[in-house]
Structure 1
Amino acid sequence: MHALILAGGELELSAQVKKLAKEAQFIVAADSGIRHAKSLGLQPDLIVGDFDSASEFDLKNFEGIPQKGFPPEKDWLDLELALAEVLKQNPDRISMMGATGGRLDQTLAALLIASNHAAQNIALYSGKQSIFYLVAKAELQLELAPSTLFSLLSLKEVSTVTVKNAQYELDDFALEFGVGLGVSNRVRQSPLSLGLKSGLIAIIIEHYE
């Protein structure tokens, strides 16, 4: 099952975003993420959050949809509350939209929150960027146009990564946490091929060029 989380950050309604949203079988809107649901013509299965950023007007557009409200002073982000509900459905794929852009702290938190569930086929989409994760002993093939810009960030102390069909290829390279060596690479030919022997990496793809 493909589950979709709609958060309240920036979201460009690209062809990719519209296609993925249409494929979703279970949809949770996190607070003001309901605005994206309206823009995409989607009917969420559940709305969660403290509703500090979703207006009464926004909520009225989705009367009859189950809601789970929480106090503004809480220990979890609305995104985390939405993710917890999605995980109850045991999906085989999770897409987060509108979880990046806007506030930098929220964007970084979203990237790290999602990384805790990297083994559950989770990805983030903004319409301008896509973020995928690769866990140890896994491979990933991405169909991307030549010259597409992408970056790799190690989310562990060291991640041993192989990259093929790129401008800068790597073979069991020890990519360290907190360095920029994996930033600003380009696809040479499709598919972009990645393999990870150990560690955890985030793959950030730019779609605006």
Structure 2
Amino acid sequence: MKKCVIIAGAEIKNHEWVKSHIDENMFYIYCDGGLYHEEKLGFKPDLIIGDFDSHPVPETDVELIKLPTEKDDTDSVFAVKEAIKRGFTDFYLVGVLGKRFDHSLGNMAILIMLEMKGLSGMIIDDYSEITLISEKRSETIGSDFKYFSVLPAGGDAHGVTIEGAKYNVKDAELTMDFPVGVSNEVPDGGSAIVSVREGRLFIIKVKSENA
């Protein structure tokens, strides 16, 4: 898999947790204000993208794509689409959840976009990992995560099965109007498996409640 890291401008406090998911062999795209994270993350950009309403246009030899401020795609969405064009298949999204809930919700939708194209994506924030599954795959969750939540993505999910957790279900329906899948747990030393027959699920694995 060709792995790409997209770094946007939302606040990051737990840089070490984020860095535990990424390495120097990945391709790094910094989006506008995401450049403020470069020093603490310790990985240089391979590509810089943005309309630069949050960070000055850098003086750099790194490839740079300057976007207009008035556009359909956010900087982060544009970066993902650009990386797809370049053949990347596995995406790590960092600095995409923060104070701007509209941007956060829009960035969650990137996981749906990637899954629909047969690609893989993970959002990493200070506390958690967020992935998405459909009938194409399942997710295994270890007890090193304090909590996990299972929520329908983009519509109701049918045939949801959770095994090995504190709260288990078999062939259940999760609907958009009732968040019954919030805050499950994995027994110490165990693992839970989540699968869905029809639809999509966000899997939110919470490592810590403190950044």
TM over 0.5: yes
Aligned to 2:156: 158
Aligned to 1:18: 19
Distance 1:51 1:104, change over 3 A: same
Distance 1:164 1:15, change over 3 A: farther
Does residue 97 of structure 2 align to residue 100 of structure 1?
yes
Distance 1:106 1:42, change over 3 A: same
Q: Scaled by the length of structure 2, what TM-score is found?
A: 0.89
Does residue 69 of structure 2 align to residue 72 of structure 1?
yes
TM superposition shift of 1:191: 2.4
Q: In 2, Cα distance between the equivalents of 1:98 and 1:185? A: 25
Aligned to 1:192: 192
Aligned to 1:42: 43
Q: In 1, Cα distance between the equivalents of 2:141 and 2:3? A: 18
Q: Scaled by the length of structure 1, what TM-score is found?
A: 0.90
SS of the counterpart of 1:185? coil
Specify the code of the residue in structure 2 equivalent to 1:125: I
The correspondence of residues 60-209 of structure 1 with structure 2, limited to 5 A, is 60=59, 63-118=60-115, 119-145=118-144, 148-159=146-157, 160-189=159-188, 190-209=190-209
Q: String of CA shifts for 1:17-40, please: whole Å, max 9, x gaps.
A: 112232552111111111112221
Q: In 2, Cα distance between the equivalents of 1:96 and 1:207? A: 17
Distance 1:156 1:73, change over 3 A: closer
Specify the code of the residue in structure 1 equivalent to 2:148: F
Structure 2 residues without counterparts, runs of 5 or longer: none
Specify the code of the residue in structure 2 equivalent to 1:197: R
Q: Provide the aligned C-alpha RMSD in A.
A: 1.7
Contact 2:162 2:192 in 1 (8 A): yes
Structure 1 residues without counterparts, runs of 5 or longer: none
State the identity %: 27
Q: In 2, Cα distance between the equivalents of 1:33 and 1:202? A: 24
TM superposition shift of 1:112: 1.3
Q: In 2, Cα distance between the equivalents of 1:126 and 1:178? A: 25
